[in-house]
Homo-oligomer: A and B are copies of this chain.
């Protein structure tokens, strides 16, 4: 059987470990007997549509290995969701045209929920449009909202970053609170679910440890109750550390971040829920505050990545290739947690149809009854995901990252495709 080439693309918001998955795919494909070259889409699926493919076979072995410790998306990612075949047949025809021109028989798509949907559509191209292809979804998202899999690669690292950062900053606040800042607010990602906010709770080891308050998107924000809790905490411990999810919202669904002020021109003040919370603390309690919004820093922080996360990200990449070799289509490697007392995990296949467009919510029993903290159930789930400090090479005091050639595959098609 002649080898078919593979297409690999990164999709949606990137993570500290998505490139580890890329390394998993590329390294496994290089030693595969059925896969030829791996062509990466430049800027995700857009690279396929515009025939802008990167020939990963031109990259050295060490460059590919370096992807394991390089954050961001080395081949470029994008936010671009394919419509249904009926709604945009033209795009699928174009994909097939490009795939045929470059003899692509395998499609590896590295992304979250939306991307799983795209991947599912591509997996049906044989049926819908007569082009034989095997499509495997490689899971990734800091939001941790993919179903079936125990966690989503990328989440463990942002969880670790968050817990470490808030623990460190809390020590700073604690040491200054007698005469300075009494309330510190740190904003974390997670517009729809409080997984990352919950991870902040891991910093808490003993009674009184920070964070003292976590604000989840799952719990309607009650200003009065919140301010009372802040006041009590400051009274008891001298300071109060708050972790707030960017998705924190009022009962009516309004995001706190959107409830901010407008400027002189009537423009909405630029986001950030942390300053909004801080402002409440100042206006209502007259306490000295500080706030932090790490934003992209949190999902790019490969220097403090979780060892488990890096391993899992790499493993799902490798498993995706193994599934392809086994002739599978429309599946995703899912991480399955062992049942024993000691944390363990294996990888099993999950049908893409069960993954696409399904959002895993955080269980209510992960949040304490008062809505401001995490439970032992949450700890038991989260704690293993931040374990381990992976090797990170440094040079001149800075982490070393892959520098790829990103050499383009010569175009074979005429004409441009407008996206």
Which residues in A have some Cβ–Cβ distance to B below 8 Å? 10, 13-14, 16, 43, 46, 70-80, 160, 163-165, 167-176, 178-181, 184, 186, 202-203, 261-265, 267, 269-272, 275, 278-279, 282-283, 289-297, 299-304, 306, 383, 386-389, 394, 396-399, 401
Contacts and interface: CB of A to CB of B under 8 A. Distances in A.
Q: Which 5 A-B pairs have the closest CB atoms?
A: A72-B171, A73-B175, A386-B397, A292-B295, A261-B263
A203 to B, nearest CB: 7
Nearest to A72: B171
A398 B163 contact: yes
Contacts of A46: 178-179
Given A387-B396, A397-B388, A297 B78 contact: no
A263 B275 CA distance: 12
Contact of A14 (B13, B176, B261): B176
B176 A13 contact: yes
A51 to B, nearest CB: 15
Contact of A383 (B78, B181, B397): B397
A202 B398 contact: yes
Contact of A290 (B170, B262, B296): B296
B74 A175 contact: yes
29 contacts: A10-B175, A46-B179, A72-B168, A72-B174, A73-B175, A74-B175, A76-B174, A76-B176, A78-B178, A78-B179, A79-B176, A79-B179, A80-B179, A167-B398, A168-B303, A169-B296, A172-B296, A261-B261, A267-B283, A269-B275, A270-B282, A270-B291, A272-B272, A297-B297, A306-B397, A383-B397, A386-B398, A387-B396, A388-B397
B291 A293 contact: yes
Given A160-B397, A175-B74, A293 B296 contact: no
A398 B14 contact: no
Contacts of A80: 179
Contacts of A282: 270
A289 B293 CA distance: 14
A300 B171 contact: yes
A70 B301 contact: no
A180 B79 contact: yes
Contact of A165 (B181, B186, B297): B297
A43 B296 contact: no
A296 B292 contact: yes
Contacts of A270: 275, 278-279, 282, 289, 291
A78 to B, nearest CB: 4
A360 B70 CA distance: 37
Contact of A299 (B79, B172, B296): B172
Contacts of A261: 261-264, 269
Nearest to A276: B270
Nearest to A392: B389
A114 to B, nearest CB: 13
A78 B14 contact: no
A109 to B, nearest CB: 16
Contacts of A181: 296
Contacts of A303: 164, 168, 304
Given A167-B399, A383-B396, A294 B296 contact: no
Given A163-B398, A264-B261, A389-B394, A173 B43 contact: no
Contacts of A179: 43, 46, 78-80
Given A72-B174, A169-B295, A269-B275, 12 more contacts: A79-B179, A80-B179, A160-B397, A168-B297, A186-B297, A203-B398, A271-B275, A275-B275, A292-B296, A294-B294, A304-B304, A386-B398
